[in-house]
Amino acid sequence: MLELLSAFCLMAVNAWASPLESAQFLGLSAIDPTTLMGPVSSPGSSMSELVVPKGYPLEEYEVVTKDGYILSVFRIPYGKNDTSTPRVPIILQHGIFATSASWVISDPSRGLGFVLADSGFDVWLPNSRGNTYSKKHVKWDPDVDKKEFYNYSFHEMGYYDLPAVIDFILEKTEQTQLIYSGHSQGTTEFFVLASTRPEYNARIKAAALMAPIAYLDGARGTVKILSAFTGTLAKTARWLGLYEILTNSPLIHFIDTSLCKKTAITIRICDNLLFALTGFDSVEFDESLMPLIADQGPSGASVKQLMHFGQLANNGGKFNYYDYGSSGNEDAYNQNTPPEYDLSKITIPINLHYGLNDWLAGVDDVLRLHSKLKDSTLVQVSFPAFNHLDFMWAKDVRSLLYDNMIAMLKAHLRQ
């Protein structure tokens, strides 16, 4: 989320470099595909370097959505010391500006991808359209056809990406159901999926949603302030001809990794920028992860994606489809206002894990969400200062969150 603040300040800067130049700048060495445990495609070395040396198997697949996006999906099929099969598949979906790497940056005792694998799950780590690992389309080149390629928000991720990934996993594993877990935007995508494609309710046994976001009326801090300028930012982006921001360009990557490396005197600035966006928690934040967080991001986002979230923060507390304006809404929805997502269609048992100090998934918004769902359980993290990023990278995330979350999921499986 350091990148979220940078996004609004550096939109013009981001247009300077292409993803190809980024790869050349990074100079990432190739990983021998024989060291992996399944079909692989490029890129993937970053995930490979994070997972394979720690003693875990890694597979990579490409999944094509119905609207033509090609998604990279990683899999940790079993843990380090237990290779027993079959296992229950679980999707672990990242948030905005993030990738599948978010779940394997930490050491195996705390990285949720590893923890779930060691707890008996078949772990699947998808990458949403347009991020570092999923910047491909059957028709459009993201460097040339920017207007067409980046014409999506989290709606399309829920409506197209998740169904394609779920269908692929169930076919590959020969299972009829799976578990879903997501963080931040990864929960928003889930709510879109289960409300607009209700047939997928039967394919998800249970869901563990961390820092769940459907409503943003109660967002606090820097993000809330910036969201007030959503309309201005949209006009600026159109004027500059920008449709995506903060892809992993050489300039942005250099800024992130230089300012946030362990030896940099500016590393505390990186920490405080994160806190200003997500809530202050210097006790639980693992500063040693900052260089890895900076190295893996930013993964990019579409302008429309950010605008949709901005609309949620300023629409009077509604979980709405994208607002195209009165005329555009008539064309898209046959009404002059965007419809609300019908959360009453969601029948999946859901555990809503939330923190009191989360400035994005605010407590009141989570409570409102809980009241709209048919089968949800509120699970408050006990540490009062637990913030939005602690769900991934807190020092004591196992004892504060993961151990109980996994126990609750296993209880659902026994039902």
| Model pLDDT for residues 338-376, shown as the tens digit of each residue | 999 999 999 999 999 999 999 899 999 999 999 999 999
- SS3 per-residue string spanning 55-124: CCCCEEEEEECCCCEEEEEEEECCCCCCCCCCCEEEEEECCCCCCHHHHCCCCCCCCHHHHHHHCCEEEE
User: At 296, is the pLDDT very low, low, confident or very high (cuts 50, 70, 90)?
Assistant: confident
What are the catalytic residues? 184, 388
What residues make up the domain containing 291?
A: 2-414
Q: Is the pLDDT of residue 251 over 70?
A: no
How many helices, marked H, and strands, marked E, lie in the chain?
Answer: 20, 11
Please, is 364 exposed, middle or buried when counting C-beta atoms within 10 Å of its C-beta (0-12, 13-18, 19+)? Answer: exposed
- Average pLDDT of the segment spanning 394-406: 97
Residue 378, domain CATH: 3.40.50.1820
Closest to 103 measured CA to CA, from 74, 135, 78, 60: 74
Better-scored residue on pLDDT, 94 or 41: 94
Domain count, the chain: 1
- Please, which residues bridge with residue 142 across strands? none
Half-sphere exposure of 312 (CA within 13 A, CB side): 26
Taking the mean position of all CA atoms in its chain, how far away is CA 227?
Answer: 19
User: At 260, is the pLDDT very low, low, confident or very high (cuts 50, 70, 90)?
Assistant: low
Distance CA 119, CA 315 (A): 41
- Average pLDDT of the segment spanning 385-391: 93
Q: Is the pLDDT of residue 73 over 90?
A: yes
12's tokens? 């013009």
User: At 249, is the pLDDT very low, low, confident or very high (cuts 50, 70, 90)?
Assistant: low
The letter for the amino acid at 333 is: Y
- Average pLDDT of the segment spanning 78-97: 92
| Residue-averaged pLDDT of the chain | 83
Helices marked H in 247-339 — which ranges? Answer: 250-259, 267-278, 290-296, 303-312, 325-333
Distance CA 251, CA 253 (A): 5
- Average pLDDT of the segment spanning 147-163: 98
Q: Is 163 within 8 Å of 193 (Cβ atoms)?
A: yes
User: At 71, is the pLDDT very low, low, confident or very high (cuts 50, 70, 90)?
Assistant: very high
